[in-house]
Structures are given as structure tokens and as C-alpha cells.
């Protein structure tokens, strides 16, 4: 009987650890999967959306609201939402697609020290990505906000 008690005692932490993900309904990877499922059911391969990025990265359009047009899953056009000034073809490729935003979200969940991710209620795409990859490092943070997704065609 005592042997059975010890085995039971040693197995409790293992059972608890293996069920943690089941007990935590807000697991970030589960939330990401649910959001991606909402996005994927829409089947949007061609769409436009607005994005704003903040980072110390030297990418085009940082700190500005940019309209991005995606066709067959690739960014094909982008312009400043306030001025209408277009970005050239060599710059457009640096703007993320919604699929890219999901990849950034997954990378943050798996590797960042701190992150906040919010998803669109109906469409599922990430509307806020606020990431600090290394909590004690300077200038490694990334913020991406997205909105106004509209299907094309």
C-alpha cells in the first residue's frame, strides 16, 4: 500500500504538468491557432489592409499608417494612408501580409520575453503585436498594428 502511495505521489506532478495546457484556456499558442482558423476560413488570398509599424529597424513606412495591397498572398502595392504617396516595388516587399503577421505572432510566443497579441474578433487576424524580444535589451522592440482588412475580387 505504501508503495502505491509513493507511485501516486510521484505521478501527480507529471499529470499536472501534462494537463497544464488543457487547464489554461488562454494558452497563447491555442489562441493563435483559433485566430488563424478564423482567418483561414475566410480564404482571403487577395486583400488590402492598413498597417502601422514601430521599430528601430530602418524599414520603409515605419511610424506611418500604410495601406498594403496583397494579391495571391504577396504584397504588390503600398502607399501612405495620409498622403497617398506610393512606395516603390523594392519597398513594397518589406510590408507584411496577414500571414506574415501570424508568423511574427508565433515567433513572439515562442521566443520573446514579453508580448501582447490581440486578434480581430470576427476575422481572426492579429490587430496588435507588441513584442519585446529581450526584456533587458534596448531597441529590440516591435509594434505592429493592423486594421481595415478588405477582400479584393
Whether residue 86 is contained in a domain is answered as yes
Q: Which domain holds residue 56?
A: 25-151
Whether residue 1 is contained in a domain is answered as no
Whether residue 66 is contained in a domain is answered as yes
- For the chain, how many structural domains are there in total? 1
Whether residue 15 is contained in a domain is answered as no
What's the pLDDT at 26? Answer: 84
Whether residue 4 is contained in a domain is answered as no
10-20 pLDDT tens trace: 444 443 444 44
- CA dist 150 and 125 (Å) reads 12
Whether residue 109 is contained in a domain is answered as yes
Q: Which positions of the chain have pLDDT values less than 70?
A: 1-25
Whether residue 5 is contained in a domain is answered as no
The pTM for the full model equals: 0.82
Whether residue 97 is contained in a domain is answered as yes
42-53 pLDDT tens trace: 999 999 999 999
134-151 pLDDT tens trace: 999 988 899 999 999 999
Amino acid at each position: 500500500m505504501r508503495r502505491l502511495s509513493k507511485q501516486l505521489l510521484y505521478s501527480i506532478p507529471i499529470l499536472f504538468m501534462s494537463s497544464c495546457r488543457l487547464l489554461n484556456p488562454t494558452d497563447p499558442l491555442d489562441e493563435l491557432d483559433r485566430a488563424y482558423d478564423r482567418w483561414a476560413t475566410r480564404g482571403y488570398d487577395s486583400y488590402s489592409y492598413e498597417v502601422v509599424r514601430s521599430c528601430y529597424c530602418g524599414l520603409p513606412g515605419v511610424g506611418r499608417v500604410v495601406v498594403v495591397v496583397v494579391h495571391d498572398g504577396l504584397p504588390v502595392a503600398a502607399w501612405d494612408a495620409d498622403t497617398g504617396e506610393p512606395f516603390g516595388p523594392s519597398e513594397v516587399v518589406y510590408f507584411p501580409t496577414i500571414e506574415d503577421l501570424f508568423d511574427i505572432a508565433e515567433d513572439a510566443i515562442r521566443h520573446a520575453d514579453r508580448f501582447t497579441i490581440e486578434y480581430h474578433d470576427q476575422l481572426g487576424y492579429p490587430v496588435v503585436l507588441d513584442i519585446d524580444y529581450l526584456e533587458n535589451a534596448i531597441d529590440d522592440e516591435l509594434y505592429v498594428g493592423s486594421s481595415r482588412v478588405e477582400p479584393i475580387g
